[in-house]
Structure 1
């Protein structure tokens, strides 16, 4: 196989492309952020910290509710990925569970609360995109637009022609003078003299 020839992509490249398409068809990052929030809310009340030989346990009576809220947030994030039709419900439920976690789990593990709110907002705001045309001559269409013909000669940025305006808006038109004396007067007023 030469350096110039391109064979079929390997399994890693095919898997990466397939994952990219899967990710684009659903609110992927909303699910990731919500999973992080649910894991943080469910984990912090059961975490044991050690400072030297001193062990500190954060767990309180709110541990059960923290675990339930964390599991529900992780379930909602998986719902965002695999049932994207109910992403708005899952997003609103994630926001509400994030808010409920504040009084129920000792300030909602604060970081987990923020991640749950942001993940829910991302899920509510996500909308499926429209496919990009494959052929170079086609134009992408917005929803509700009909097909538009492609005209290569027309300038898409050209506006209506106005005879009073110059053809190039960045140049100033030359002044029109009545005669040679008017030309000398104009140059003297501008502070410039022309050499004969």
Structure 2
């Protein structure tokens, strides 16, 4: 490509990576991943066969169907966290409950591996909150809050009383006020 060309000048791997990072940032990605990773061992271990020479060890129990149902539901909840993040709290609570139920039903929760992953995924899903989108030109107002910048251009009738007062009172600065990062909150210094 020449410097004058208007074509894309980036490698396609970077473009896909950037798109994936944007997709991942808008949903509880790690919660869904942990829940998926927790559902797989819970569903797999009751049906697993281990071969030692000519001897076959089967881990199957009478609760194999229950383990399969719990594992499939956890995988489904993990995918739900990714593609329908609006129901993240429900999916998180349901995955925690299924993880707890998997202890007596599914070989001690998939030998504790599936239990722990599902429990962590559910907790991450409940605690995840979508990020705030601010304006690009001025992310923070004059007093360091997004609310001040959002209502800056509004007339006084539409702004709250606290916002009008914050805009009217200038921030006190000078020799008597220490505003450094290690200061005590902008209170008057003793010197």
On whether the aligned pair clears a TM of 0.5, the verdict is yes
Query: 1 CA distance for matches of 2:187 and 2:10?
Result: 50
State TM-score, norm by structure 1: 0.70
The answer for the alignment partner of 2:88 in structure 1 is: 87
The answer for the alignment partner of 1:180 in structure 2 is: none
1:131 aligns to what SS in structure 2?
A: coil
Query: 2 CA distance for matches of 1:127 and 1:31?
Result: 14
- Aligned pairs for 1:126-137 (under 5 A) are 126-131=128-133, 134-135=136-137
Per-residue deviation, 1:161:
4.3
Per-residue deviation, 1:47:
0.6
- Deviations 1:56-106 (Å, cap 9, x if unpaired)? 000111111111000000001111111111000000000000011111112
Report how many aligned residue pairs link the two structures. 159
The answer for the alignment partner of 2:158 in structure 1 is: none
Task: Name the CA shift for 1:106/1:8 in 2 (closer, same or farther; >3 Å).
Answer: same
State TM-score, norm by structure 2: 0.72
The one of 115, 118, 122 equivalent to 1:116 is 118
Task: Name the CA shift for 1:2/1:96 in 2 (closer, same or farther; >3 Å).
Answer: same
The answer for the alignment partner of 2:43 in structure 1 is: 42
2:76 aligns to what SS in structure 1?
A: helix
RMSD: 2.9
Query: Which of structure 1's runs of 4+ aligned residues deviate more than 6 A?
Result: none
* 2:14 is equivalent to residue 13 of structure 1: yes
The answer for the alignment partner of 1:66 in structure 2 is: 67
Unmatched tracts of structure 1, length 5 or more: 166-196
Q: Which moved more, 1:32-41 or 1:104-113?
A: 104-113
Higher-Rg structure is 1
Task: Name the CA shift for 1:61/1:24 in 2 (closer, same or farther; >3 Å).
Answer: same
- Aligned pairs for 1:1-196 (under 5 A) are 1=1, 8-109=9-110, 110-131=112-133, 134-135=136-137, 138-139=139-140, 145-147=147-149, 156-157=179-180, 159-162=186-189, 164-165=190-191
1:113 aligns to what SS in structure 2?
A: helix
